[in-house]
Each structure stands twice: as C-alpha cells, then as structure tokens.
Amino acid sequence: EVQLQASGGGLVQAGGSLRLSCAASGFIFDDYVIGWFRQAPGKGREGVSSISNTDGNIEYADSVKGRFTVSSDNAKNTVYLQMNSLKPEDTAVYYCAAVDFDDVDHELRPDEYDYWGQGTLVTVSS
C-alpha cells in the first residue's frame, strides 16, 4: 500500500523558515517523482516543487524560486521542502504526492500525480 505522510507545518512569522517532510512507503522510491503542492483557502491546488528520484531533476514554481529548496534522502525514503523567507501568501495546506517517473510529463501539474498524502498546514503571519 502506497503511503505518503507529510509533516512539519505550523505557524511562523513572515521571514521565518519551516521544513516539511514527506515520508514515503509502499513503492520503489527511486522510481518515482515526488511533488509538493499547496492549496490556499478558496484557491486551487498549485505545484510548488518536485524532485525526481530517478534522474535528480528538480522543478520549482516561480513564486518560490530562491526561497524553497527540495531535497531527497533515498536511504530514509523521505523528501524535504525547506522553506525560507516565508511570506503570508505562502499560507496554505501543503501536500506531497508521488508519480512513477515514466508516467509524468509536467512535474508541477497536480493531475499528473497518482498518490497523495494528507496535508500539513503552513500559516505565515504578517
């Protein structure tokens, strides 16, 4: 059974940092792309970042480039999202998701992903 467990959310002041974790199990981690997505109240789900455990490709949304860093610990089957210089507009529920490397073309599109974890809430106060 595929499981994705996101954690690390919380309340932080603008300019602060948080690190999210996504622990994965039930599939061959090296064969998958892990994506981070977020959904703010009243808005659609948007891609934030992704990392391919197969070829190492990394993608970022323009809104987070230079502030967020995605990384993967293949020994722990865990992907991290380090979020620095947080802004109030980063407030959202953050989700991690997984898709087989061979099945994805656009790594920041939510509809490309097959497996989803529960979300973790990030709130950035001004």
Residue 35, pLDDT score: 98
Residues 6 or more apart from 93 whose CB is under 8 A from it? 9, 38, 39, 40, 119, 120, 121, 122
Residue 58, pLDDT score: 98
Residue 63, pLDDT score: 97
Residue 94 CB coordination number (10 Å): 24
Asked whether 48 and 60 are in contact (CB, 8 A), the reply is yes
| Two structure tokens written together for 80 | 């991290």
Residue 81, pLDDT score: 98
Q: Which of 119, 91, 114 is nearest to 16 (CA)?
A: 91
User: Average pLDDT over the chain, rounded to whole?
Assistant: 97
Residue 121, pLDDT score: 98
Residue 73, pLDDT score: 96
Distance (Å, whole) CA 116 – CA 9:
16
Quickly state the pLDDT bin for 38 (edges 50, 70, 90).
very high
